[in-house]
């Protein structure tokens, strides 16, 4: 899936779209919850350039592990700190799942109508896959991933405090997940399959109604 090959012409737009919608959703949700920081910093935009971290983008292609530029957020500005953290943290993965659904729906819709060519087929397929990957990986409850903030916002105060102590070690845990053969796949594959099941099931139900 990663690396430099002829399919990059399809993968680059799909990757940029997945990264952009993820960070845009975080920024939009933060503003909606009362924090103007992302707006002041120009992050409430669907232009991919402000969201790209050059090193993280390059590593995605070379090593299969990378990152976008995180959206700066100040939870103290939220109308409700716990609720705001939950919604903002979940917004990125939610947007990826929504875009993945749209990609899968149109991939199958155009296929059923015999209107899809190779370019659209490969682009939509990559768009679907990248968005599911972004959603699932970011929901892993390991700091600094979004899943850790979602979990922390749901835990009672004392447990949240204990869980927060994991933050200094989060990056080391993530590196271990990536470097130890098979470990990352073992952790994320069950969640990947659940998200795929939901997206594909919903898309097929709607396709059955539309067609």
Cα 201 from chain centroid (whole Å) = 20
Active site annotation includes 23: yes
Going by C-alpha positions, the residue among 67, 120, 129 that lies closest to residue 100 is 129
Task: Give φ, ψ of 142 to 5 degrees.
Answer: -125, 125
Could you give the maximum distance between any two Cα atoms of the chain, in Å? Answer: 57
The C-alpha atoms of residue 87 and residue 194 are separated, in whole angstroms, by: 21
The C-alpha atoms of residue 25 and residue 73 are separated, in whole angstroms, by: 12
Q: Of the listed 23, 112, 167, 196, which one is catalytic?
A: 23
3-state class (DSSP) for residue 138: helix
Active site residues: 23
């Amino acid at each position: 899936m990663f690396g430099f090959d002829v399919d990059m012409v399809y993968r680059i737009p799909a990757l940029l779209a997945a990264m952009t919608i993820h960070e845009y959703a975080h920024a939009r949700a933060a503003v909606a919850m009362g924090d103007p920081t992302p707006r002041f910093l120009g992050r409430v935009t669907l232009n991919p350039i402000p969201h790209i971290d050059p090193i993280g983008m390059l590593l995605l292609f070379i090593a299969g592990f990378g990152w976008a530029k995180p959206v700066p957020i100040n939870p103290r500005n939220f109308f409700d700190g716990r609720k705001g953290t939950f919604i903002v943290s979940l917004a990125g993965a939610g947007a990826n799942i929504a875009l993945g659904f749209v990609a899968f729906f149109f991939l199958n819709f155009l296929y059923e109508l015999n209107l899809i060519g190779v370019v659209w087929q490969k682009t939509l397929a990559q768009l679907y896959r990248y968005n599911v990957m972004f959603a699932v990986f970011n929901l892993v409850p390991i700091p600094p991933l979004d899943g850790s903030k979602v979990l922390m916002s749901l835990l009672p105060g004392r447990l949240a405090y204990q869980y927060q102590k994991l933050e200094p070690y989060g990056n080391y845990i993530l590196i271990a997940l990536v470097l130890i053969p098979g470990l990352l796949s073992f952790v994320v594959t069950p969640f990947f399959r659940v998200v795929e099941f939901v997206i594909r099931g919903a898309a097929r139900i709607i396709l059955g109604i539309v067609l």
